[in-house]
């Protein structure tokens, strides 16, 4: 089904690129009115809105900066060939010493705004043709576009705080909107549209796969409420107009609303926790009932014509992290790049029997011959025969054995650092790039957000004893022969129902959602982002680095007022 959706979106993109696609010129073919009267055509038109989201999981884009600036990932310079040196770009992200010239900042700015503007353009198209469709169809698809626009703006907002938020398809000449105002506009928009979006069930799950749904809208809302204070919002500086949330009078009200939105997802019964953690990340992971929103991938599709230098709209996560030698083991078409890995202290937060970690000592010793899948790879790399231990590419006498330690960000070996392994690797040589759909929102996140919001003062009833939460705990120790939930609680006692601890939740969110685009914001919310005792290798501890700099190229090209002063200005500190 996901390939059908992808093909439809490609088709409508091709059609819409033709000049005058919607002009009223009839040569015996259906008119625009005829086309827009059919819901399937409206759905295809709106499907264009998902094209730009594929830029956001690239290491030269949003995913790269939020992963490398958090405690979950690093990209050290690999010796002796100085692989990944790149003018210390990656090291500066790792240590929090980036500057306004960072390429990824420009990429994030351009791709998120491009997606948001396209949503506004499509909304305008629907508004101009609203008489051709029913009120229900119009409300649903305008709602879908406004929610997707909110997601694009959310990622831009998460990075820069002050952004050019726009709800109309027109050029803006206004100053950058303040963070608390952006937050307010996003919340208002999502609260308005969430009820109009489809509620996922088994009958419509495939049709709505990879698209904005009610569950996605409420999950994004919950994330906004949970992080309101980390965005600088207070009850006195926000500007909410939606009646649902217009009564925020204390900080606790942010968290009560987060609980409400989580309950909206939970009570819909659209999603459930998968018994196997890795089901969510399989090559064919469209069967997961836990994944709420994903980027639909096609591992053999060509690069987008707009590919900019090293940046791509193709998911290359397993290629990015695995060692060069893994190509021989798994018959991979593309040779891995041996780049991103975990910070050593991050791996230490996993119990060794936790399936999401790097495995027990016995399993690590087996390496690519391990009897179970683990969330991170550590150990020897054998050839496809399972017997021949491969050698490091630069030191023929050195066995290819990945270790979890990293001695230096500037002089690491090719074998240092645990490698991300929860996304299933193509072992048949079928795909050029990752076929796995990239997970952006999971039901597990909703469950954990609710518990955290309650601990922070939100009103609500805990779900920690629910069947889904029980399964969430059990699967983490899925290889244990005994009581799996008891093993989890023994390993992480401060996560037991009735004994939940905020700091323990932060650690658990790291283990559960590694490399899923949320860790940086989690660290900011918990006051740990610039803490060298928690985020290894960090030296740039200035508080202003909680926001990234507005790209230099953006400010240079921005409009100026009547006194020749730039309308858009840089974030403080840069």
Mean pLDDT over all residues of the chain? 92
Per-residue exposure over 230-261, b if at least 16 CB sit within 10 Å of its own CB, e if not: bbebeeeebebeeebbeebeeeebbbbbbbbb
Cβ(426)–Cβ(283) under 8 Å?
Answer: yes
> What is the reported pLDDT for 394?
59
What is the C-alpha to C-alpha distance for residues 147 and 524, in angstroms, rounded to an integer?
24
Structural domains in the chain, CATH included, are: 202-297+436-464 (1.25.40.10)
What was the pLDDT predicted at 287?
97
Q: How many CB atoms lie within 10 A of CB 481?
A: 6
Instruction: Quote the longest CA-to-CA distance of the chain.
Output: 73
Distance CA 189, CA 278 (A): 34
Q: What pLDDT shows up at residue 307?
A: 61
Q: Is the peptide bond before 80 cis (omega within 30 degrees of 0)?
A: yes
Give how far the C-alpha of residue 235 lies from the chain's centroid of Cα atoms, to the nearest Å.
28
| Percentage above 70 pLDDT, the chain | 93
DSSP state of 440: E
pLDDT average, residue stretch 373-390: 97
Lowest mean pLDDT among 1-15, 108-122, 129-143: 1-15
Structure confidence at residue 395 (pLDDT): 58
Q: Which whole number is the average pLDDT over 40-62?
A: 95
Residue pLDDT, tens place only, 501-557:
999 999 999 999 999 999 999 999 999 999 999 999 999 999 999 999 999 999 988
Tell me what pLDDT residue 306 has.
66
Q: Give me the residues paired with residue 566 across strands.
A: 560
> Which of 227-231, 251-255, 311-315 has the least mean pLDDT?
311-315
Q: Give tens-digit pLDDT for 26-46.
A: 445 677 778 889 999 999 999
Calpha distance 124→432 (Å, rounded):
37
Q: pLDDT by residue (tens digit) across 273-309? A: 999 999 999 999 999 999 999 999 999 988 776 665 6
d(CA 365, CA 453): 40
Main-chain phi, psi angles of 239, to 5 degrees: -135, 70
295 half-sphere exposure, CB direction, 13 A CA radius? 23
Determine contact, residues 355/369, Cβ cutoff 8 Å. no
The neighbour count for residue 11, using CB atoms within 10 Å, is 12
Region 408-429: mean pLDDT is 97
pTM: 0.93
Give the rounded percent of residues in the chain with a pLDDT score beyond 90: 85
- Contact residues for 59 (Cβ-Cβ < 8 A; gap 6+): 67, 75, 316, 320, 339, 340
Q: Round to whole Å and give the CA distance between 235 and 240.
A: 10
Q: Are strands 419-420 and 438-442 parallel, antiparallel or unpaired?
A: unpaired
Half-sphere exposure of residue 282, counting CA atoms within 13 Å on the CB side? 13
Q: What is the DSSP letter of 497?
A: T
CA angle 386, 391, 393 (to 5 degrees): 130
The Cα 416–Cα 395 span in angstroms is 14
pLDDT, tens digit, for every residue of 151-168?
A: 999 999 999 999 999 999
Q: Cα angle at 319 between 324 and 82, to 5 degrees? A: 50
């Amino acid at each position: 089904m996901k390939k059908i959706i992808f093909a439809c979106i490609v088709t409508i993109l091709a059609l819409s690129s033709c000049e005058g696609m919607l002009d009223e010129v009839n040569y015996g073919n259906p008119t625009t009115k005829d086309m827009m009267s059919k819901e399937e055509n409206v759905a295809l038109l709106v499907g264009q809105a998902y094209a730009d989201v594929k830029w956001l999981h690239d290491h030269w884009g949003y995913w790269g900066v939020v992963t490398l600036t958090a405690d979950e990932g690093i990209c050290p310079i690999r010796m002796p060939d100085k692989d990944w040196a790149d003018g210390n770009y990656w090291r500066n992200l790792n240590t929090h010493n980036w500057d306004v010239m960072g390429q990824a900042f420009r990429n994030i700015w351009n791709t998120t705004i491009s997606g948001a503007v396209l949503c506004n353009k499509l909304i305008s198209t629907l508004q101009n043709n609203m008489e051709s469709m029913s009120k229900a169809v119009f409300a649903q698809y305008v709602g879908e576009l406004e929610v997707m626009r909110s997601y694009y703006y959310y990622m831009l907002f998460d990075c820069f705080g002050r952004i050019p938020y726009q709800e109309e398809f027109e050029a803006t000449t206004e100053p950058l909107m303040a963070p608390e105002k952006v937050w307010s506009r996003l919340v208002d928009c999502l609260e308005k549209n969430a009820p109009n979006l489809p509620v996922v069930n088994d009958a419509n799950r495939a049709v709505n796969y990879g698209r904005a749904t009610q569950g996605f809208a409420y999950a994004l809302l919950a994330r906004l409420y949970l992080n309101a204070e980390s965005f600088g919002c207070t009850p006195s500086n926000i500007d909410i107009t939606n009646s649902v949330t217009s009564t925020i009078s204390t900080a606790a009200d942010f968290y009560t609303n987060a609980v409400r939105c989580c309950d909206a997802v939970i009570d819909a019964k659209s999603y459930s926790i998968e018994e196997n953690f890795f089901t969510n990340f399989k090559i064919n992971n469209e069967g997961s009932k836990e994944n709420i929103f994903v980027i639909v991938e096609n591992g053999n599709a060509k690069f987008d014509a707009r590919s900019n230098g090293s940046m791509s709209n193709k998911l290359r996560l397993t290629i990015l992290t695995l060692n060069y030698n893994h190509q021989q083991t798994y018959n991979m078409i593309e040779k891995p790049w041996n780049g991103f890995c975990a910070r050593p202290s991050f791996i230490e937060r996993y119990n060794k029997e936790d399936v999401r970690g790097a495995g027990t000592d016995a399993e690590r010793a087996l390496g690519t011959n391990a009897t179970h899948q683990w969330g991170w790879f550590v150990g020897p790399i054998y050839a496809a025969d399972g017997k021949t231990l491969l050698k490091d590419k630069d030191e023929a006498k050195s066995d290819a054995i990945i270790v979890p330690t990293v001695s230096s960000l500037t002089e690491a070996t090719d074998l240092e650092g645990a490698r991300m392994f929860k996304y299933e690797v193509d072992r048949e040589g079928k795909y050029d790039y990752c076929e796995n759909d990239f997970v952006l929102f999971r039901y597990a996140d909703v469950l954990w957000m609710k518990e955290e919001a309650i601990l922070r003062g939100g009103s609500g009833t805990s779900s920690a004893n629910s069947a889904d939460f029980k399964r969430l705990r059990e699967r983490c120790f899925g290889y244990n022969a005994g009581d799996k939930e008891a093993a989890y609680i023994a390993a992480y006692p401060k996560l037991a129902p009735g004994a939940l601890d905020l700091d323990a939740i932060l650690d658990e969110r790291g283990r559960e959602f590694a490399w899923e685009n949320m860790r940086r914001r989690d660290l900011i919310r918990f006051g740990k982002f610039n803490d060298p005792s928690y985020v290894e290798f960090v030296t740039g501890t200035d508080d202003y680095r909680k926001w990234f700099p507005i790209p230099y190229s953006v400010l240079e090209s921005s409009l100026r007022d009547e006194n020749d002063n730039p309308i858009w200005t840089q974030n403080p500190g840069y």
